[in-house]
Copies of this chain bind each other. A is one copy, B any other.
Amino acid sequence: MQREEPSFEIITVGNELLTGRTLNTNSQWLSERITQLGGFVSRCTVIRDDVTEISRALRESLRRDTKFVIIAGGLGPTYDDRTLEGVAKGLSRRLLVNKQALQMLKVKYKQMTEKGVIEKFELTEPRVKMARLPVRGIPLPNPLGTAPGVLLRVDTSIAACLPGVPSEMKGIFEDSLKRLITKLTGRVYTYSRSLMLKGIVESSLAPLLDGIVAKFPDVYIKSHPRGIEGTISRIQVEIGGKSRRKGVAETKVNNVAEELGKLVQGRGGSIALV
């Protein structure tokens, strides 16, 4: 598939991801949503809760001409939530209490006091910390939690910080980032099909795919060997396309599936929808 601009990168922050304690479903969810919205995710990076690491990863990403960097994790009140500090360092900006963000937090903690979740309303230092944004950061309301997200414009690029709690991350993404992304990508239609090939091994499929890829350069084909049952080799094949006009991706993908089916049958294999 041809590379389409603008490119997106995802940085997820958290020691628990690097020890394997937590499966990185946040990175997958963001990748899938951005792809659905027509964006091209060019890289995902996982780093630990460390100011220097966060700062470096953000700078590296911007140096790769990334249009939109999403950083998820590390916005909370505890000692290891250092993302805004790292982002400020990476962008050489100061951290300053943002009035709008502080107002958002006040509302949240007032609600919690009224509901009896906390005993008394106080804006303690760990709470105020979540309103300390890199200069010119715009706070994004958190519909399902406390810490606001943060949107930053950096020259012609955008960096957005989201909390690591999956529901909060998704909530802010849908409320505040979705529209922004769609504006960047324009409307894109995607279509994909999954086929199971039987009776052909991957090394015999390879030259058939070469021919198809040369003929349909803008369709993406990926083969996943699924083992050998008895003497029958099985390979799952994903075929995906996207287009700006409705129906075009479907036609391309279906043409590829049909051609692949013929070629595989010509080699004595069979093909089934998954």
Residues of A within 8 A of B (CB): 1, 14-25, 27-35, 41-48, 53, 60, 76-80, 109, 112, 115-119, 124-127, 130, 145-146, 165, 192, 201-207, 209-210, 213, 220-225, 228, 231-233, 238, 240, 268
Contact = CB atoms under 8 A, between A and B. Distances in A.
For the residues of A in contact with B, the DSSP-based class is mixed
B268 A119 contact: yes
A50 to B, nearest CB: 9
Contacts of A60: 60
Contact of A21 (B30, B145, B201, B238): B238
Nearest to A32: B20
A233 B117 contact: yes
A206 B77 contact: yes
Given A18-B41, A145-B225, 14 more contacts: A1-B15, A17-B28, A19-B31, A21-B32, A23-B25, A24-B44, A42-B47, A76-B202, A77-B202, A78-B205, A79-B206, A112-B201, A117-B201, A125-B207
Nearest to A64: B56
30 contacts: A16-B224, A17-B28, A17-B44, A18-B35, A18-B41, A18-B42, A19-B41, A20-B29, A20-B30, A20-B34, A21-B240, A42-B47, A42-B48, A77-B203, A77-B206, A78-B202, A78-B206, A79-B206, A79-B210, A80-B222, A116-B231, A117-B201, A117-B233, A118-B201, A124-B203, A124-B207, A125-B207, A127-B203, A146-B202, A165-B225
Given A146-B203, A220-B15, A28 B35 contact: no
Contact of A46 (B20, B44, B124): B44
Contact of A19 (B32, B47, B165): B32
Contact of A16 (B25, B117, B145, B238): B238
A35 B47 contact: no
A145 B233 CA distance: 12
Nearest to A80: B222
